[in-house]
Structure 1
Amino acid sequence: MIEPILVFGIPVDFILFALTLLGVALFHHHTLPVALTGLGTIIVYKLIFTGFKYGAGVGGLGHHMAHEWVTLANLFLLLMGFALLSRHFEESRIPDEMPALLPDDWKGGLALLCIVFVLSSFLDNIAAALIGGTVARHVFQGKVHIGYLAAIVAASNAGGSGSVVGDTTTTMMWIAGVSPLSVVEAYVAAIVAMLVFAVPASIQQHRYSPIQKDPPKGLKIDPARVFIVAAILVAALAANITANLRFPALLDTIPVLGLAVWAVILLTAGLRSPDWKVMPETFKGTIFLLALVTSASMMPVEKLPLASWQTALGLGFVSAVFDNIPLTALALKQGGYDWGYLAYAVGFGGSMIWFGSSAGVALSNMYPEAKSVGRWITQGWPVAVAYVIGFFVMLAVLGWHADVPLK
C-alpha cells in the first residue's frame, strides 16, 4: 500500500471517514445512503491514489474483501437472524408476563437492565440487547425513552466485556492467548459503570412511561416459540465455544456463529414460521453497519500509540465511531496492554453512539427513532459518564499491569 496522502497531517482516508460519520450524525433519516456514499467514495479514492492494505487497484480491493468477508458475513447473519429471534421471543408471550416479575416502579427498569447485563455475559450482545428491547416495548407499553435504549445497549456491551464468550473482541483475545481471568477483570469497571448509568436511565424511563403494573389477563405462553428461542441461543453459544476450543482455524474461513443461528432458524421454521416481515427494515440497518465496518477496515490504522492506560481509555471513545474488531486486532499485535482494561474500553465504548456497536444498530432497527446521534448523546449521557467513572475506579482498585507482548 502506498503511504497515505496527508492534509494538515491527517490521512485523507480518515477525513473521508470522518465526513461519512458526520453525515450519518446530521442526516439520521438517511443513514444508509450516507454510509454507502461514504464507502463508495473511500473505495474510489483508494483505487485511484493509495491502494489497499493487500495491494493496489481492483486486485487489492479483492484481497481486502477476501480478508474481511468472514467478519462481515457473521455480522450480516447475526443481525438478520437475531431480528427473527426477537420476534419469536415477542410472540412467545413471555414479554407480556414480565410486568408480573419486575418491580412496579423505576426499579423494574433497573432489574431489566441487570437481566440484559447477565444475559450478555454468555450470549451474543446483539441477542441480549434485542431481548431487552423486546421486553421493554411490552412492559413500558411501547413508549421507550432513547436514554433507556442507550442503557439497554450499554448493559449488553458491559455484560459481554468481561467474558470471553460474551463479545467478539474478548473472544479474539481468548484466541490470541489472553487468559480468561485477565479479561474477567473488566467486570470491575463494567459493574461500576452499570450502576452509574442504569439508575438514572431507569428513573428517566419511569418518568417518561412507567412500567405496566399487571400483565394482561388470560395470557398463554407459546412453548414452541420458547423452545425455538432457547435452541437458537444454545446453538450460538455452543458454536462459539466449540469453534474456539476445537476448531479455531474455522473462524477465519467460515462465519461459524451466523451459520449456526440460521441453521436453527430454518430447521425450526416448520414448528413456527419466523416473522419474515421484519427482514426488509432489518436488511437496511444491517447493510448500514456493514458499510461503516467496511469503511473502517480500509483506514490506514497500522499502528496504535504506545500501550498505556491513557491509550486504553482513548480507545473506548474511538470505539464509539470506529469498529472495535480491527482496533482489538491491532492491540493484540502490539501487545503490552492490561487486557481487562482493553476488553472494557473496546467492549463498552461503542455504547456511546447508536452505531458504535452492532447491538446499538440492531436495537435501532427495532426503534428507528434512536437513529439520532444528538438525541442518543443528550438523552443517553449517563453512558459516557459511566464509561469514564468505571475506567478510573478500575484503575484505582486494580492498577495497571501491562502484559508481555503476545506471540
Structure 2
Amino acid sequence: MLTPVLVYGIPLDFILFGLTLLGVAIFHHHTLAVALTGLAAIVAYKLLFAGFAKFGAGLPGLVHHMEHEWVTLANLFLLLMGFALLSRHFEESRIPDEMPTLLPDDWKGGLLLLVIVFVLSAFLDNIAAALIGGTVARHVFRSRVHIGYLAAIVAASNAGGAGSVVGDTTTTMMWIDGVSPLTVVEAYVAAAVAMLVFAVPASLQQHRFSPIVKDAPSDLKIDWARVAIVAAILLAALTANVSANLKFPALLDVLPVLGLAVWAAILLTALLRRPDWSVMPETFKGTLFLLALVTAASMMPVEKLPVASWQTALGLGFVSAVFDNIPLTALALKQGGYDWGFLAYAVGFGGSMVWFGSSAGVAISNMYPEAKSVGKWVTQGWPIIVAYVVGFFVMLALLGWHPDAPH
C-alpha cells in the first residue's frame, strides 16, 4: 500500500508544486523546462508513493486521472492555439491600424481600450478578448507596451468574464452545475469597481511609457474577409458554448466542444484566407507550459476547502493566482455554502495577479514574451492586487455575504 510522504505535516505533493511555481518565478526565461520538470517530479512521486487519490495507485491510477482531466486540457490546448491564429487574422485585417482614429490621443485611449476588452469578455472567451486587446495595443502603442498595461489587459478580460456564464470557464461550470446566471452576474459589482481601480493607473503608466499613436496610415485598406473570419470563429465559440450548456450538457464531459468548434471554424475559413501558421511553434511552447501547470495542479491532494465563508472566497482569489481555478471551482461547487457571485469574482479575477494565473495571462505572454516575469508582473501590475481587494470589499459592503441555497 502506498504511503504519502509528509514534511512537517505538509504533503510532499504541495512542496513539489510550490517549488515548481518558485522555479517559474525565478527562472522566467526557462518556464517551460521548469514546468515540465516539476510535473515529471510530481508524477514520479505519485506513482511511487502517494497514488492518485480516488483514481488509484500506479499507472492505472495515472491513466484514470488523465481520463478525467483530458477534456479540460484539450479545451485549453485547442483554445490557446486557435485564438493565437484568430489574433493574427485580426491583426492582418488592418483594423488595429485603424484604432488610433477611434481612440482618444492621451491616456484615456488606453483606458477606453481596457473597457472594450472588459465588454468583449462578457460575451467571448476571455482568452480571445485578451488577445484582441493585446493585438490592438501592439499597433496603437508602436509595439512598446508596458508590462503593467499588459497585466491590465488580462485583468480587464478576466473581470469582464467574471459575471457572465459564457465569459469564463469557471462561471460556465457554475451554470452547468445549476447556479443561476442571475446569481453569477452579481460579480460585476466587484469587477466594475476593480476596473476603476486598476485601469486608470495602468493607462497613465502606459501613456508615460509610450503614448498612443495619433494618426492611422493614410492608405489603410481593411481586409474585410479577415474581419469576417474573426467574427465567424468567435460566433462558433459562442454558439457552441451556449448550445452545449443549454441542450447537451453531458457532451461537455466527454468532448472539448468549445475548442473543436473554434478549430472547425478556423479550418473552414482557411479556404478564404490562409491562417498565419508561423505563430504555432511559439504558441505551442506557451500552451504546453500552461497544460503542465494545470496537470500538476489537478494532482494535488485538495479533497476539500476550508468552511465556506467570505474569508475563504477572498483567499481563493489569491490562491487562483498560482493554482488552477478550475479544480478550485469544482471543489467549491461540491462543497456548497458559497455566495456564488463572490466566488465567481474571486476565482475569475484573482488569476490576473500573476501572468500564469489565468489562460488569458498565458495567451498574452505568448504574444509578449517579456511579460513572463512574476517580479515585473507584480511590481508593475500592482494596481491589480489592490483592485482585487477593493472590489471584493465594496461588493461585501453593498450586497453582503448571502450563501446560496443548494442548487
Give TM class, smaller chain: over 0.9
| Cα offset, 1:405, TM superposition | 3.4
| Cα offset, 1:259, TM superposition | 0.3
Whether 1:187 and 2:188 are equivalent positions in the alignment is yes
The match for 1:40 is 40
Matches within 5 A, 1:4-403: 4-53=4-53, 54-403=55-404
Confirm or deny: 8 A CA contact 1:129 1:156 kept in the other structure. Answer: yes
1-structure distance, mates of 2:159, 2:303? 27
2-structure distance, mates of 1:288, 1:170? 24
| Cα offset, 1:5, TM superposition | 2.4
Confirm or deny: 8 A CA contact 1:334 1:405 kept in the other structure. Answer: no
Confirm or deny: 8 A CA contact 2:237 2:261 kept in the other structure. Answer: yes
| Cα offset, 1:9, TM superposition | 1.6
Give the counterpart letter for 2:24 in structure 1.
Answer: V
| Cα offsets for 1:28-61 (capped at 9, x unmatched) | 0000000000000000000000100201000000
| Cα offset, 1:2, TM superposition | 5.6
| Cα offset, 1:404, TM superposition | 2.4
| Cα offsets for 1:107-144 (capped at 9, x unmatched) | 00000000000000010000000000000000000000
Unpaired stretches in structure 2, ≥5 consecutive residues? none
Quick one: structure 1 residues 391 and 266, their matched pair in 2 at CA, closer, same or farther if it must change by over 3 Å?
A: same
TM value normalised by structure 1 = 0.99
Secondary structure of the 1:271 match is coil
In the alignment of these two chains, the number of paired residues is 406
Secondary structure of the 1:384 match is helix
| Cα offsets for 1:281-313 (capped at 9, x unmatched) | 000000000000000000000010000000000
1-structure distance, mates of 2:4, 2:175? 33
Confirm or deny: 8 A CA contact 1:121 1:163 kept in the other structure. Answer: yes
Quick one: structure 1 residues 294 and 63, their matched pair in 2 at CA, closer, same or farther if it must change by over 3 Å?
A: same
Give the counterpart letter for 1:18 in structure 2.
Answer: G
Secondary structure of the 1:301 match is coil
Secondary structure of the 1:123 match is coil
1-structure distance, mates of 2:343, 2:307? 13
Secondary structure of the 2:173 match is helix
2-structure distance, mates of 1:165, 1:268? 24
Confirm or deny: 8 A CA contact 2:3 2:49 kept in the other structure. Answer: no
TM value normalised by structure 2 = 0.99
| Cα offsets for 1:165-209 (capped at 9, x unmatched) | 000000000010101011000000000000000000000000000
Give the counterpart letter for 1:12 in structure 2.
Answer: L
| Cα offsets for 1:298-339 (capped at 9, x unmatched) | 000001000000000000000000000000000000000000
Identity %: 84
Secondary structure of the 2:323 match is coil
- CA RMSD in angstroms comes to 0.8
2-structure distance, mates of 1:236, 1:332? 25
Give the counterpart letter for 2:207 in structure 1.
Answer: H
1-structure distance, mates of 2:11, 2:397? 36
Quick one: structure 1 residues 172 and 2, their matched pair in 2 at CA, closer, same or farther if it must change by over 3 Å?
A: farther
| Cα offsets for 1:46-94 (capped at 9, x unmatched) | 0000100201000000000000000000000000000000000000000
Secondary structure of the 1:151 match is helix
1-structure distance, mates of 2:293, 2:64? 19
Confirm or deny: 8 A CA contact 2:338 2:404 kept in the other structure. Answer: yes
2-structure distance, mates of 1:174, 1:25? 34
| Cα offset, 1:3, TM superposition | 6.3
Give the counterpart letter for 2:15 in structure 1.
Answer: I
1-structure distance, mates of 2:4, 2:123? 41
2-structure distance, mates of 1:279, 1:338? 40
Moved over 2 A (4+): 1-5
